[in-house]
Amino acid sequence: MAVRHETELYLPIKDFFARQGYDIKSEVRHCDLVGLREGDTEPLIIEIKKTFNLPLLLQGVERLKLSSNVYVAVERNRAKKGAHNQRWGDLTDLCRRLGLGLLTVTLYKTKSPFIEILCEPARLEVTTRAPRKGSRKQRLLKELSERSGDYNLGGSTRVPLITAYREKALRIAHAFGEQDTLSPRQLRDATGIGTAAAILQDNHYLWFERVSRGQYRLTAAGRQALLDYAHVLQPPDPASPVYPTTFTEE
């Protein structure tokens, strides 16, 4: 069966690698899927498309700058025999030459999806050294570690992403509780977020309002955000992720 959206491929791929011990998050610093396994220093990165094409290949090569453990993933549609993007032997050889892994997802109407690894990443640059501070790889791993759960759906477009920064802002908004105004220090102590003052001052989402020196309150947009993203403030359940589909405009 042909998929209509890339997001239909995300959950089968996530489940496949989660069963191998990876902690998986989606849409991490523009990568469709990022995972890390205990003891690994190279993150797993997977870029997903409905069909194999040049943009997917270019994305995969770009991700090799962040990790040597990179796959590109597409649907394997049995109804498209003979199509150029179904020449799996040639495509596998191409990915292998580039150092990329290639996997396919076959979806069925009445049985579970089937994931097939056609080739593994070359993994030529596996290292035990910590990534350089401030590097793209270090920022990727930091973003991955600071997210409490997987609240996005890989391959999504035109929907707000739950980033580590948004999570922190939500926790600060939630900390107001029934209080009308609080200081940055009070919010920092209540949430354990050391950058609380900077988040309040930046006010990226317009959730906070400075009412006087050292005093902030929650705006109507902030109160609405607590409703829209209530699932983020609940303890995450990795077995049953919730991916909201409706949001208010910010």
**pLDDT above 50 (res 7):** yes
Mean pLDDT estimate for the chain: 85
Q: Quick one: 48 and 124 in the same domain?
A: yes
The total number of structural domains that make up the chain: 2
Q: What is the mean pLDDT of residues 214-239?
A: 85
* 66 or 157, which is more confident: 66
pLDDT tens, residue by residue, 109-152: 888 999 999 999 987 555 556 667 768 888 898 888 888 888 87
Q: Quick one: 115 and 19 in the same domain?
A: yes
Residue 148 lies in a domain: no
- Which pLDDT does position 4 carry in this prediction? 75
Global confidence as pTM: 0.73
- Which pLDDT does position 157 carry in this prediction? 63
* 154 or 93, which is more confident: 93
Longest dimension (CA), the chain: 68
Q: Quick one: 83 and 197 in the same domain?
A: no
Q: What is the CATH number of the domain that holds 207?
A: 1.10.10.10
Q: Quick one: 197 and 105 in the same domain?
A: no
Residue 137 lies in a domain: no
Q: What is the CATH number of the domain that holds 71?
A: 3.40.1350
Q: What's the domain range around 170?
A: 164-233
For the record, the structure tokens of 212 come out as: 């006087």
* 153 or 149, which is more confident: 149
Q: Quick one: 109 and 195 in the same domain?
A: no
Residue 238 lies in a domain: no
Please classify residue 28 by burial: count the beta carbons closer than 10 Å to its beta carbon, then call 0-12 exposed, 13-18 middle and 19+ buried.
buried
Of 33-37, 55-59, 124-128, 161-165, the poorest mean pLDDT is in 124-128
Q: What is the mean pLDDT of residues 74-84?
A: 70
Of 44-58, 69-83, 167-181, 204-218, the poorest mean pLDDT is in 69-83
Q: Quick one: 123 and 181 in the same domain?
A: no
Residue 243 lies in a domain: no
Q: Quick one: 11 and 123 in the same domain?
A: yes
Residue 157 lies in a domain: no
Q: Quick one: 20 and 123 in the same domain?
A: yes
Q: Quick one: 13 and 124 in the same domain?
A: yes
C-alpha 219/C-alpha 209 separation (Å) is: 6
Residue 156 lies in a domain: no
Residue 144 lies in a domain: no
Binned at pLDDT 50, 70 and 90, residue 80 comes out as low
Q: Quick one: 123 and 211 in the same domain?
A: no
Helix 88-98 × helix 54-63 angle, to 10°? 30
- Which pLDDT does position 156 carry in this prediction? 61
Residue 141 lies in a domain: no
Q: Quick one: 111 and 28 in the same domain?
A: yes
Q: What is the mean pLDDT of residues 18-25?
A: 93
Q: Quick one: 122 and 197 in the same domain?
A: no
Q: What is the mean pLDDT of residues 98-114?
A: 92
